Structure 1
């Protein structure tokens, strides 16, 4: 018996309260291509600093649940409010003077500490994405996709995962728990497997750490749905409790064990460069 084909919903006929179309009719439909994703992953292994390759991998492995997630949030009252009050997160996140005006101990202070210590900016992540040269469309999908991208570094701060090799893989799997895609799984688990290869013989629970991150992401409130301005003003620990983000115990156990074994968790990338092996996205 031949299965009946389900017609894709016409998202271009749906509009937000302000008239913005959900998905612009000229926006190309994403095409799933595992070979293309693998090709870009191999390029990423050779040049781990080219973050644009990460975006190419995601584009090659689109989730069939993406548009339903966009519709569920963006056309809800919560989504309408977020679009009005937070049309662009980089402008909020890169205004460190305003963020530092909040009380010490706030998520804002922790975010500024993290970004300044790492030499990062929200605008920098935008620039990496724009290396792809993809056109932008006046639709709600554009807002949703950019908001998803711009919360990445907030994930680091809220979860406690650093920018070491394992921390990056944990953030990717946490993100998968929040918004499942095969791209997060490919990069996250391939990176974790490579870390295990580099530290053969170690007792550190690398897979336990990334699996815990994925479970945490699934169990936590979705950050993309939260009012970021308001969260930034609140004490960091209060935000973690409210979003149901527990301590990253397995990740910290890996760091503890590696240090006992004479391995610097933050030197894994340097080891990777010496051996030609890939680690993180």
Structure 2
């Protein structure tokens, strides 16, 4: 599948077609997790209706309308990680920069054109993925990534998270990762899902205005307590 083909998924594609494209993109993303073409296509393949519903919800509030109008960006070119590192320890900016440094990864970047609010919300979700790691405390190991997917499923109901969780859980049940037993793995996913359900929606939060805010303050505001 070429990049051009992945971007030509029609709006009226059948569920079978969307599932087929999503599974192919997911396969490619295992080897190239930051690829913007496959990532965006995977995200939109099953989530377009969810994002359309969210866009309607955004239109009902002043802050939501402002976000859809301004379409803020958390792409790599918008982030000054060197400046963030100079902020006090514990602030969102400082801990965000530390997250990238410690994990030896780079911020999200894409050249894809935003043609609609649906495209923007899809991009916004991908941009906030790393911020959610910082806020929720879920790790970047296999189990931590699945916990974050479960959290997002509870918070936004994105269908692609169900596909990621299904594939990840099948693999985990066949061959447990990171020394986590199967029962513990399932318990942690369920706890993350319930936490996401109990938390305020994160997608319309203006992280750009809170780089100097302590992570602890934002976690208390945006994330329900993590319970077993």
Same fold (TM over 0.5): yes
Moved more, 59-68 or 164-173: 59-68
Counterpart of 1:197 in structure 2 is: 174
CA contact (8 A) 1:37 1:57 kept: no
Counterpart of 1:87 in structure 2 is: 72
Residue from 206, 224, 242 that aligns with 2:203: 224
Structure with higher Rg: it is 1
Deviation, structure 1 residue 119: 2.2
CA contact (8 A) 2:199 2:222 kept: yes
Q: Structure 1 61/106 Cα, relative in aligned 2: closer, same or farther at 3 Å?
A: same
CA contact (8 A) 1:63 1:180 kept: no
Matched, 1:173 2:134: no
Deviation, structure 1 residue 97: 2.8
Matched, 1:117 2:102: yes
Give the SS at the match of 2:66: helix
Counterpart of 1:154 in structure 2 is: 131
Give the SS at the match of 2:164: helix
Give, in whole Å, the separation in 2 of the partners of 1:47 and 1:224. Answer: 22
CA RMSD of aligned residues (A): 3.1
CA contact (8 A) 1:174 1:215 kept: yes
Counterpart of 2:58 in structure 1 is: 73
Q: Structure 1 144/66 Cα, relative in aligned 2: closer, same or farther at 3 Å?
A: closer
Deviation, structure 1 residue 121: 2.4
Give the SS at the match of 1:245: coil
Counterpart of 2:23 in structure 1 is: 41
CA contact (8 A) 1:32 1:61 kept: no
Per the normalisation by structure 1, the TM-score is 0.65
